[in-house]
Structure 1
């Protein structure tokens, strides 16, 4: 008998509304253990709300989220030790030094041998020159490196990323992507990546889910989507999907009384 491993992330009929706005509308998808899923969509597509529900920060109106075989948010306290999150849009406390920030987060995640772990990450992510500088004094690239180090403190089995290389120069962005590839290769972690950077998604992701209006418009491996749409890049596929969606919305509007 062949045993099929359970997905690391399983989302079933997930829904969330904010007043009259349906931000997420019946999402269903899975992320296999050790795989990288790209969550794509324009502004307002539902990416951030979905990530918030995966982290247990936003309660869904309907549907379920299962991570590593456990219910989220029902078993959130146990799950958070095996998860982490990184986004350049979420700042660390500016008045604390980099070392102090990593120490605080490491204690929250109950990281063993924390001093040694911080030293290891400082070496891996080249933080030594500013480890005792206040976080508010760092450049954008330095903040991203610190945020990524924070996200890997507890060596998470599931890593959620929201635009990890936004506003970075090409060299720094490539450096970040390489570190993510190394982390996945050495730990077998599962990664969910929300990004507008299509070359980044093509490089890092095994599978892609394209969102629009809180719903899944299409999904598949990047190469499969490119072939299916007869395009050369994933960015061209994304534009096709977005423009088709706008055209359908315009047609629906014209038929309204």
Structure 2
């Protein structure tokens, strides 16, 4: 039986009279992929931001890998990662330099080998030494995905993962 790795209960986010997220609940077992579906403004990005512990919910709770993301998120963060088209990497650094920084933040063993592996898998070898600001939209999306996978996360949150691909 798979262990539950994500538990979201009655998650709510209000901005004054606006309900950005209203009573969202779901759980995810290890090895399962789910998608949050909804139109523009449905609260998908807000939900993910609360799941990461970057935005405080108005109500409800999020537990990831057994950690309450409101009070104990730093215990879960080394085993998580995320990708979003709304987060840009430093433009002056090369793709390789950006990935090295994230590998260092996550204490990835043998970072150069991991970067080479990601570059091959995501067809990024030809632009590894190019500044991130000089990439096409599709290339930026692949680099963001490589950044999200660099630490081989147990929980991966993807916000609009196919944007520009």
TM range (shorter): over 0.9
Contact 1:80–1:109 under 8 Å retained in 2:
no
Structure 1 CA distance for aligned equivalents of residues 70 and 93 of structure 2: 30
Aligned counterpart, 1:11: 8
Map 1:242-253; keep pairs closer than 5 Å: none
* Matched residue count: 165
The alignment yields a C-alpha RMSD, in angstroms, of 1.3
| Structure 1: runs of 5+ lacking an equivalent | 169-257
Structure 2 residue 44 is the aligned partner of structure 1 residue 47: yes
Map 1:143-158; keep pairs closer than 5 Å: 143-158=140-155
Greater length-normalized contact order (CA 8 Å, ≥ 6 residues apart): 1
If you compute each CA radius of gyration, which structure gives the higher value, 1 or 2?
Answer: 1
Structure 1 CA distance for aligned equivalents of residues 21 and 95 of structure 2: 35
Q: Flag the structure with higher helix content.
A: 1
Contact 1:88–1:165 under 8 Å retained in 2:
no
Structure 2 CA distance for aligned equivalents of residues 78 and 115 of structure 1: 26
1:36 to 33, 37, 41: 33
Q: Deviations over 1:10-44 (max 9, x none)?
A: 11111111122111111111112111111011111
Contact 2:141–2:163 under 8 Å retained in 1:
no
1:131 to 122, 128, 131: 128
Aligned counterpart, 2:78: 81
Deviates more, 1:48-57 or 1:85-94: 85-94
Aligned counterpart, 2:69: 72
1:107 to 91, 104, 107: 104
| Structure 2: runs of 5+ lacking an equivalent | none
Q: Structure 1: which 4+ aligned runs deviate by more than 3 Å?
A: none
Provide the TM-score with structure 2 as the length reference: 0.94
